[in-house]
Amino acid sequence: MIVEQVTPNIKEKDAIDRKQNVITADSFCKNLAQRANTALPYVVSGGRISFKKKTNCTVISNDMYIIIYTEKGKCTLKDTNSCVDSKVGSFFVIRPNAKLELITLTDDFICDVYYVRGKEMEIYDKALFTDKESDLFIHYSFGNKEIFTFTTSRMNNLITGNSEEAFYLEASLVQNFMTLLITYVLRKPKVIETIPEHVACAKNIIDKRYYEPLNLDILQKETKANKFHLCRDFTKYIGSSPVQYLNKTRIDKSKELMIMTNDTVHSVGTTVGIPNTNHFINLFKRSTGLTPLQFRIVHSKAVKQFNFE
């Protein structure tokens, strides 16, 4: 592993890191323009690593974020639960306090590595770690490599400077890079999984026959799916269990009836499939924060005001 040096006084320390196959912030030249305790993102240290043969090494982030850009070749990044391959033009963003395994898959592998601090990185973190493959890192691949090649080349040059201008230019490059990442994430089409037939069937039964005395045994019989598997899959694809979805459907319908009719609480409960009045009132209040009668009074007034009566 060859780490491109900028300041000669860290060669000895870097040689130790290479023998141990460990990548840390101290593996690179320290950024002389960095500022402590700033909201702006700033590069603590960074540079380019070149692997001339297939290698396994440990990447440690400590209290910093790490940005890794693949310039040449392929690699894999692993934690205890995830394993993601990267190719030319791909990025990894690694969270603080991570210890990961980097495995180069080609004999000639080059990447740019930047250790970054700054309160602003926490904002980017919340935006990026939404559809995550791992709790410790994210991976993105872009078609337009020229933009990022220019960014990393410019960053590597700026790290050698210690001027005020260099600091703000570095912060701007990190901000632009993170903004591009977030824009990509927001524009990336979500993969919509097809709802399994037994889940769709159960949902359709509840939607159309919520007023019937439905339960898991009935849904199991009609969908021909084991009720435990049905409950698990229904929760995965619909976002709630069949029973929770049934109760919500019934309460939603009862709210309409409480506003649009003068039916008694018991009558409304029975109409939506909950003949036990006390149980109906408890479910209704748990959902709306109001009893059915309180709900009717509040919303009936709102309807009258809307209709200018």
d(CA 51, CA 32): 26
Helix H or strand E encompassing 45: strand 42-51
Which residues, given as ranges, of the chain have pLDDT below 50? 2-19, 302-309
State the helix-helix crossing angle for 277-288 and 242-260, rounded to 10 degrees.
Answer: 90
Place of tokens 């692993």: 78
What single letter denotes the amino acid at residue 226? N
Domains of the chain: 2-187 (2.60.120.280), 197-306 (1.10.10.60)
SS3 at position 37: coil
Q: Which string of DSSP letters, residue by residue, matches 63-110? A: TSEEEEEEEES-EEEE-SS-EEEE-TTEEEEE-TT-EEEEEE-SSSEE
> What pLDDT sits at residue 5?
39
pLDDT score for 84: 80
Contact 47, 86 (CB under 8 A): no
> What are the two backbone dihedrals, phi and then psi, of residue 253, each rounded to the nearest 5 degrees?
-70, -40
Give pLDDT tens digits for 207-240.
999 999 999 999 999 999 999 999 999 998 888 8
CA 51-155-25 angle, to 5 degrees, is 55
Question: pTM (2 decimals)?
Answer: 0.55
Taking the CA atoms of residue 40, residue 46, residue 47 and residue 48 in that order, the dihedral angle to the nearest 10 degrees is -100
What pLDDT, on the 0 to 100 scale, is given for residue 203?
A: 94
CA distances from 44 to 35, 69, 118, 227 (A): 9, 16, 10, 55
